[in-house]
């Protein structure tokens, strides 16, 4: 039996589809109010057997901080993919982020150990990789500096420490650090917001950039590592390093919208940060633009993907084709 946490998210839903199409017996956790129907919808983007595959999932309602419910989810489980996480960049959410991402991961690790799970794959983030310096690509060994990190990255790094602790206690683990993940169906969060932004035909683009990867490539890497004899290692999962202008241009063209042509100046970002702060003050809305956000939007990070290529011999999807596929689905959803 394979257990997937975070099965109702972008990576989790695609992972479940991959496992089911390969006749793997799967169990997945979900929280109260999670959009289970969205998982079947994601399946339908790729196969006409979506309902039949979806019905094979054994769902267990279990928050990753609900130990009794998790103990039920772990019964007879041999392999665990831990993809559940809380995503926010608002400093006010730090303790909630820490509870879900760090403490929740500690719970998963402890249950893996107590249930003699054979192997754990943890889905981290590229933000937990040390910064690239002087045009040199960052790799898995770069030193990580917490003072440069946003609150989400801080708690994901803490979660990685829990995974390494499990490794020291005898659990076989692998960690995957994906860049910005491009995939369909989750337009209100993560990279889905990039499609919404491009669809609006905005003129402006940030000056920085980062690593990007197709969601199915992330899944292939996760499964490939779990099926290998590799453990106690982490892997950057990035297929292309792109500037935000490049990726927004690709998205705009695929959506048939105006390509962004004006660069966001530092004063623009400072103004947006101020307006975002006022909105938070008056309405209680989540902070979207913080000082750390501005720094990441201005800086171009470049990542070295040689380790995963040499380890698994993976051939990445053409991101242009992935963007076209996702754009087609986005336009159908919002026409």
Of 239 and 294, more confident? 239
Of 190 and 72, more confident? 72
**For 185-217, what is each residue's pLDDT tens digit?**
888 887 888 888 888 888 777 888 899 999 999
User: 81-95, 141-155, 278-292, 305-319: which has the minimum mean pLDDT?
Assistant: 278-292
User: What confidence score (pLDDT) does residue 196 get?
Assistant: 86
CATH of domain 2-184+210-241+302-317: 3.40.50.720
pLDDT (average), residues 239-263: 90
> What are the sequence ranges of the domains in the chain?
2-184+210-241+302-317
CA neighbours within 13 Å on the CB side: how many for 16? 36
User: What confidence score (pLDDT) does residue 265 get?
Assistant: 63
User: What confidence score (pLDDT) does residue 269 get?
Assistant: 59
**Is the per-residue pLDDT at 165 higher than 70?**
yes
User: What confidence score (pLDDT) does residue 288 get?
Assistant: 67
**Is the per-residue pLDDT at 180 higher than 90?**
yes
Beta bridge partners of 26: 2
Band the pLDDT of 134: cuts 50, 70, 90: confident
DSSP E strands, 83-157: 119-123
- Pinpoint the alpha helices (H) of the chain: 10-21, 36-44, 50-54, 67-73, 94-97, 104-114, 151-168, 192-199, 215-226, 244-255, 266-283, 291-298, 306-312, 319-334
Distances (CA, A) of 114 to 74, 110, 197, 205: 10, 6, 45, 49
Band the pLDDT of 298: cuts 50, 70, 90: low
**Is the per-residue pLDDT at 261 higher than 90?**
no
User: What confidence score (pLDDT) does residue 264 get?
Assistant: 66
User: What confidence score (pLDDT) does residue 335 get?
Assistant: 67
- Angle at CA 152, nearest 5°, toward 324 and 185? 25
**For 109-123, what is each residue's pLDDT tens digit?**
999 999 999 999 999
For 103, list phi and psi in degrees, rounded to 5: -65, -40
CB atoms within 10 A of CB 8: 25
Residue 247 is given by DSSP the state: H
User: What confidence score (pLDDT) does residue 27 get?
Assistant: 97
With a pLDDT cut of 70, the percent of the chain lying above it is: 89
d(CA 164, CA 170): 10
What global pTM score does this model have?
0.91
Distances (CA, A) of 179 to 47, 187, 305: 26, 17, 11
SS3 31: coil
**Is the per-residue pLDDT at 310 higher than 90?**
yes
The answer to whether 211 and 314 are in contact (CB under 8 A) is no
């Amino acid at each position: 039996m394979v257990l997937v946490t975070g099965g109702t998210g972008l990576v989790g839903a695609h992972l479940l589809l991959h496992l089911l199409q390969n006749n793997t017996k799967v169990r997945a956790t979900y929280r109260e109010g999670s959009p289970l129907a969205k998982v079947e919808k994601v399946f339908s983007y790729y196969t006409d057997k979506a309902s039949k595959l979806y019905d094979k999932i054994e769902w267990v309602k279990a928050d990753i901080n609900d130990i009794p419910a998790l103990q039920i989810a772990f019964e007879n489980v041999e392999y665990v993919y831990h993809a559940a996480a809380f995503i926010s960049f608002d400093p006010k959410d730090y303790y909630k982020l820490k509870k879900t991402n760090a403490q929740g991961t500690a719970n998963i690790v402890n249950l893996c150990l107590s249930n003699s799970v054979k192997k754990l794959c943890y889905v981290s983030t590229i933000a937990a990789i040390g910064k690239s310096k002087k045009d040199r690509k960052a790799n898995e060994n770069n030193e990580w500096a917490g003072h440069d990190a946003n609150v989400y990255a801080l708690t994901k790094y803490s979660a990685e420490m829990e995974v390494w602790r499990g490794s020291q206690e005898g659990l076989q683990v692998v960690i995957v650090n994906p860049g910005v993940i491009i995939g369909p169906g989750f337009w209100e969060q993560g990279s889905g917001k990039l499609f919404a932004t491009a669809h609006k035909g905005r003129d402006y683009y940030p000056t920085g950039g980062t690593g990007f990867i197709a969601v199915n490539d992330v899944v292939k890497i996760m499964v490939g590592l779990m099926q290998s004899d590799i453990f106690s290692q982490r892997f950057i999962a990035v297929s292309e390093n792109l500037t935000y202008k490049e990726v927004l241009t690709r998205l705009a063209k695929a959506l048939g919208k105006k390509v962004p042509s004006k660069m966001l100046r530092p004063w623009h970002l400072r103004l947006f940060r101020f307006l975002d702060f006022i909105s938070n003050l008056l309405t209680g809305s989540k902070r979207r633009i913080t000082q750390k956000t501005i720094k990441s939007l201005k800086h171009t990070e470049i990542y070295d993907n040689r380790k995963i290529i040499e380890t698994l011999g993976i051939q990445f999807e053409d991101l242009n084709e992935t963007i076209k596929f996702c754009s087609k689905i986005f336009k159908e959803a919002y026409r």
